[in-house]
Structure 1
Amino acid sequence: MIRILLTFLSVILLTNGWAQQVLVRQPNGSLTLAKTTAARPRNIVFILTDDHRYDALGFLKTQTFIQTPNLDRLAKNGAYLPNAFVTTALCSPSRASILTGLYAHRHQVVDNNNPVSKDLVFYSQYLQKTGYQTAMIGKWHMGGEFDDPQRGFDYWVSFKGQGSYLPEKNGLNVNGKKVPQKGYITDELTDYALDFMEHRRKDKPFMLYLSHKGVHADFIPSERDKDRYKGHTFKPPVSMNIGSQNDAPMWLQNQRNSWHGVEYPYHSQLDIGMYYKRYAETLAGVDASVGRVLDYLQKEGMLESTLVVYMGDNGFMFGEHGLIDKRTAYETSMRVPMLAHCPELIKPGTVVNEVVANIDIAPTFLEVAGLKVPTYMDGKSFLPLLKGQQKPWRTGLLYEYYWERNFPQTPTMHALRTDRYKYIHYHGIWDTDELYDLQTDPNEVNNLIRSESYQTVVNQMNKELFDILQQTNGMSIPLYEDRGHQNNLRNKKGPKAAEFPPFLERDGN
């Protein structure tokens, strides 16, 4: 009887998604994928940066102190994907989605404290199985303070947790051995990346995953880039001031005076404009790294044939909606820069306007390697889009974020982002949802959720959102034990708590 009951409970848990990670892999755990009729597998260089917001690219001219000549070079000679997003704007969940092609509710890495399940398969394992040399160099950061080599990589260089821009006692883990960190982390990781490519086996294709610490807070630029933007002026976003948003949720108004708010950032009196300029100075080091990688590929005669993809793991807010950091479903949080370069495949100046995401990276790389994409993955290959081909594509992208006890200011949310609208649905709070017409309101300041003329849109997007969650077994909210401390203070001299919204108030009758 007990065995029957346990079996029944196991079925219930699997049905409700609690153990979904054991279901999202190839049958019998196989790492062998069917091959396509594509030409020879190509070399792949994937460069991932931390907290790089979508508009922090020099050629977009959003701030005078954003200067990225090497990233501009990638866009000019390759493809720019202006509508690239992450499905969860948080380091570990986003990185797990990149590696697995899965939404966070399926891979279950929903915060920065819990490691990825051993049952999950990374795209690097499939590439390794088919004969690729694979390298992971840089930030891993998926739960826990460890830097041990992970499955799917022949060459490994990493550090514990967030790591450090400057040398510190933990140092680096190079292929399982502790090695001192010698210098500025962005430069040193690039050195290792070039060393891997220089000493690779020339008779096999390779996949290099260069995962920078930059530009994660607290931003520390290299000595050569310090104060390079000292004379520049920060242009604050239109939604930074109190009262700049129509029908803003209470939680959002209250977060202004918190760890992630402009009135009490990191529980300090931080100057947001100065902070953004230091971010830009730190980004200059990442841009220089990209230039070194491109120059090496060119010198070796591989630049024309190698697919180089650059993206951020999530965005970052510098005052938008009165906030800093990420986590929310607003554009500057969930939208990221994405560039792709491979002259043999991509025409210079290509612009891909379709909504692509981090869950699409794994399928794309598998197709580049001449492998058929596993049907269990949530993402799709955007290689045809890079090549200028027409392909049926998604009409809406799911976004999800799960409340963290460590940062309790931001609630659990799910959102649906289409080419025109964004619908944000909150869970567990007494507040309002949100709807934005991105065509007429790109800054997301006019919440249309209660507008009579948009109720059809609201109802349709609500249905589509829950359809996606139902289809991907996402109707359960992952729950983990408490880890880490809470950043939950408010400034007594800061803005007071928001008033309860009038549309929910009655006179008592």
Structure 2
Amino acid sequence: MKIMTKQISLTILILMVISCGEKKKNVDAVVHEKPNIIFIMSDDHAYQAISTYSNHLIQTPNIDRIGKEGIVFTNACVSNSICAPSRATILTGKHTHINGKVDNQMPFDTTQVTFPQIFQQAGYQTAMFGKLHFGNNPKGVDDFMILPGQGSYINPDFITKNGDTTRIEGYVTDVITDLTLDWLDKKRDTLKPFMLMYLHKAPHRPWWPRPDKFKEFLGKKFPEPASLFDDYKNRGTAAKTAEMNLLNDMMYNHDSKIRPAVTQRMKNLEPFVREYEGGFHNPYTNRVNEVQKAAYEPILDEINKDFEENWPSMTDEEKMKWKYQRYMQDYLACISSVDDNVGHVLDYLDESKLSDNTMVVYTSDQGFYLGEHGWFDKRFIYDESFKTPLLVRWPNRIKAGITSEEMVQNLDFAQTFLEAAQIEAPEDMQGESLMPLLTSNNGEWTRDAVYYHYYEYPAVHQVKRHYGIVTIDYKLAHFYYDVDEWELYDRKKDSQEMNNVYNDPTYSDIVVELKKKLEELRVQYKDSDELNQKYIDIHHANSIDSPLNKKG
């Protein structure tokens, strides 16, 4: 038996050497016992802007394809709806009050174990391309090119594994995809399974589309949400005081692409909106080359001519509608590019015979308001920001065409990936593996509620601190710090969350039940009022109360 074992080992070694010398296309068909995993995450991609969830705004055939050939989660959500904290939760499998990244300003504790490290230690090759949002040296990643901070849409800079920063000419969504495909095709070790994080900047503010999409979507008109002119009369203080209103808070230069020279010429613009310094020039003027400028300028001419001629005579209602259309045109144009590029990656997997044993996940770091309640941005526990798209394909294990209505969170991703790869997850991770739902063993899934906690206040957009519990039927939230208010929404009867029924006697028993369950979750996840105060004290010590302190 020993001699036979040695002979077999020698044969395998010879075959491996021969395989390494063959052309790439032949090696790509190597099938590993463990799956490859491609984690695709966009930034601020609202589930309403994926045609699998809703087809009234845009068609996304390539993202849809992931769900059609796998599973779509209709109640996926986040635990803290803001960029960097969401990403920290995904990497660590822990709520933000445990991993410490409660807001965009708090540093991330790099001594913590992240799931890419665990994959690397288990023999996977790991890679990351695109937007990480914090830090410049992701642990446990063999190869990476990441955007510094928020990154740029046009001719983006990237931080390399060597610590250098390099600028790559092109449109950021295309560039990130090119880096991803180049690694898949030419740089990875085809004899090992891989964990690849393919992370888009788009469609994060300030929504600069590629020139062809910019032109295409400028000619489109989009349906307005029913709550575009919400007056928040049946809500608490938090909704009334948030600074996310399209008319009053969306910036002319930075967001709507109005040239500073135009707004300066149009004195006393109404309403007055405070701008980011360099809000037009930094993402555009200071980055485009002459060829790109020639493509962008005619489109900007059209936008600016319309604004300068018509804005002064518009009513506030007309201005709100104008800003909404401008917002949707650019936001959705950015998403169209993401969808095209996701298609390129899916096509590569098919052509390279990698599809069957590759888990492909598409999600966003959180949801986003597309004019609902008159808002843009995220942060609230309300559905448009709380919910996030989640579509998963893995032909070897997941049946095609499944829809799950279970309550799942970004907190669950790390443990899901690890179980899929047959790697043991650390005991201190706080999520639950989604594998029972992915493999149609729904009876093993018992979660009936999720926990949410948002911290970044006072800060940009002025969304008050709050925590809460969400079930399929109800949502209970406690707003604190400079208020002490509770809100309750009946999700079945009031899907748009227009009426706070916390003080309605009809729901008194529901309030008692949900508060009890909420406290149980706070104990389970080790959250407390003492931790709330700790993070408030740190916030004050860091002096980050400026309303424009962070473009997150």
Q: TM-score over 0.5 for the alignment?
A: yes
1:186 aligned to which of 145, 151, 173: 173
Counterpart check, 1:343 vs 2:331: no
1:54 aligned to which of 34, 47, 57: 47
Counterpart check, 1:332 vs 2:319: no
Counterpart check, 1:291 vs 2:343: yes
C-alpha separation in 1, matches of 2:382 and 2:452? 10
- Displacement, 1:368? 1.0
C-alpha separation in 1, matches of 2:246 and 2:508? 31
Q: Which amino acid is the alignment partner of residue 458 of structure 2?
A: R
Counterpart check, 1:322 vs 2:374: yes
Corresponding residue for residue 239 of structure 2:
252
Residues 347 and 387 of structure 1 are in contact (CA less than 8 Å); yes or no, is this contact kept in structure 2? Answer: yes
Residues 262 and 324 of structure 1 are in contact (CA less than 8 Å); yes or no, is this contact kept in structure 2? Answer: no
Give matches, 1:252-291, under 5 Å: 252-255=239-242, 258-259=243-244, 262-266=247-251, 267=273, 271-291=323-343
Corresponding residue for residue 77 of structure 1:
69
> CA distance change for structure 1 residues 472 and 242 in 2, over 3 Å: closer, same or farther?
closer
2:499 aligned to which of 446, 453, 456: 446
Secondary structure of 1:228's aligned partner: helix
Give the CA RMSD over aligned residues.
Answer: 2.0
Corresponding residue for residue 467 of structure 1:
520
Counterpart check, 1:138 vs 2:163: no
> CA distance change for structure 1 residues 358 and 373 in 2, over 3 Å: closer, same or farther?
same
C-alpha separation in 2, matches of 1:470 and 1:76? 38
- Displacement, 1:99? 0.5
Corresponding residue for residue 313 of structure 1:
365
Corresponding residue for residue 434 of structure 1:
487
> CA distance change for structure 1 residues 227 and 404 in 2, over 3 Å: closer, same or farther?
same
Give matches, 1:149-188, under 5 Å: 149-167=137-155, 170-188=157-175
- Displacement, 1:260? 5.0
- Displacement, 1:232? 3.1
- Displacement, 1:246? 5.2
1:364 aligned to which of 416, 432, 436: 416
C-alpha separation in 1, matches of 2:218 and 2:460? 32
Name segments (4+ residues, structure 1) moved above 4 Å.
259-262
Residues 436 and 445 of structure 2 are in contact (CA less than 8 Å); yes or no, is this contact kept in structure 1? Answer: no
2:99 aligned to which of 103, 107, 113: 107
Secondary structure of 1:365's aligned partner: helix
* Alignment deviations for residues 226-252 of structure 1 (CA, whole Å, 9 cap, x no partner): 132334332222222244x55211231
Higher share in helix: 2
Corresponding residue for residue 63 of structure 1:
56
1:205 aligned to which of 176, 193, 214: 193
Secondary structure of 1:435's aligned partner: strand
* Alignment deviations for residues 448-475 of structure 1 (CA, whole Å, 9 cap, x no partner): 1111111111111112112211222211
> CA distance change for structure 1 residues 457 and 316 in 2, over 3 Å: closer, same or farther?
same
Q: Which amino acid is the alignment partner of residue 519 of structure 2?
A: F
* Alignment deviations for residues 178-214 of structure 1 (CA, whole Å, 9 cap, x no partner): 3222211111111111111122111111000011101
> Structure 2: 5+ residue runs without aligned partners?
1-31, 252-272, 275-318
* Alignment deviations for residues 136-164 of structure 1 (CA, whole Å, 9 cap, x no partner): 1111112xxx5x32211000111211000
Residues 251 and 431 of structure 1 are in contact (CA less than 8 Å); yes or no, is this contact kept in structure 2? Answer: no
- Displacement, 1:482? 2.9
Corresponding residue for residue 355 of structure 1:
407
Moved more, 103-112 or 175-184: 175-184
Q: Which amino acid is the alignment partner of residue 241 of structure 2?
A: N
Residues 149 and 175 of structure 1 are in contact (CA less than 8 Å); yes or no, is this contact kept in structure 2? Answer: no
> CA distance change for structure 1 residues 171 and 377 in 2, over 3 Å: closer, same or farther?
closer
Corresponding residue for residue 497 of structure 1:
none
> CA distance change for structure 1 residues 452 and 353 in 2, over 3 Å: closer, same or farther?
same
> CA distance change for structure 1 residues 431 and 81 in 2, over 3 Å: closer, same or farther?
same
Q: Which amino acid is the alignment partner of residue 383 of structure 1?
A: M
Corresponding residue for residue 19 of structure 1:
none
Q: Which amino acid is the alignment partner of residue 343 of structure 2?
A: G
- Count residues with an aligned counterpart: 442
Residues 104 and 456 of structure 2 are in contact (CA less than 8 Å); yes or no, is this contact kept in structure 1? Answer: no
Residues 85 and 356 of structure 1 are in contact (CA less than 8 Å); yes or no, is this contact kept in structure 2? Answer: yes
C-alpha separation in 1, matches of 2:54 and 2:526? 41
2:355 aligned to which of 298, 303, 314: 303
Corresponding residue for residue 195 of structure 1:
182
C-alpha separation in 2, matches of 1:106 and 1:54? 27
* Alignment deviations for residues 11-52 of structure 1 (CA, whole Å, 9 cap, x no partner): xxxxxxxxxxxxxxxxxxxxxxxxxxxx93210000010000
Give matches, 1:3-82, under 5 Å: 40-64=33-57, 66-82=58-74
Q: Which amino acid is the alignment partner of residue 192 of structure 1?
A: L
2:204 aligned to which of 216, 238, 253: 216
* Alignment deviations for residues 252-277 of structure 1 (CA, whole Å, 9 cap, x no partner): 1233xx35554332436770222022
Residues 409 and 488 of structure 1 are in contact (CA less than 8 Å); yes or no, is this contact kept in structure 2? Answer: no
> Structure 1: 5+ residue runs without aligned partners?
1-38, 490-509
Residues 117 and 140 of structure 2 are in contact (CA less than 8 Å); yes or no, is this contact kept in structure 1? Answer: yes
C-alpha separation in 1, matches of 2:489 and 2:357? 41
Secondary structure of 1:433's aligned partner: strand
Considering only CA atoms, is the larger Rg found in Structure 1 or Structure 2?
2
Counterpart check, 1:392 vs 2:438: no
C-alpha separation in 2, matches of 1:239 and 1:113? 32
- Displacement, 1:337? 0.7
Secondary structure of 2:216's aligned partner: coil
Residues 203 and 331 of structure 2 are in contact (CA less than 8 Å); yes or no, is this contact kept in structure 1? Answer: yes
* Alignment deviations for residues 99-118 of structure 1 (CA, whole Å, 9 cap, x no partner): 01111111110111222102
Moved more, 245-254 or 418-427: 245-254
Q: Which amino acid is the alignment partner of residue 176 of structure 1?
A: G
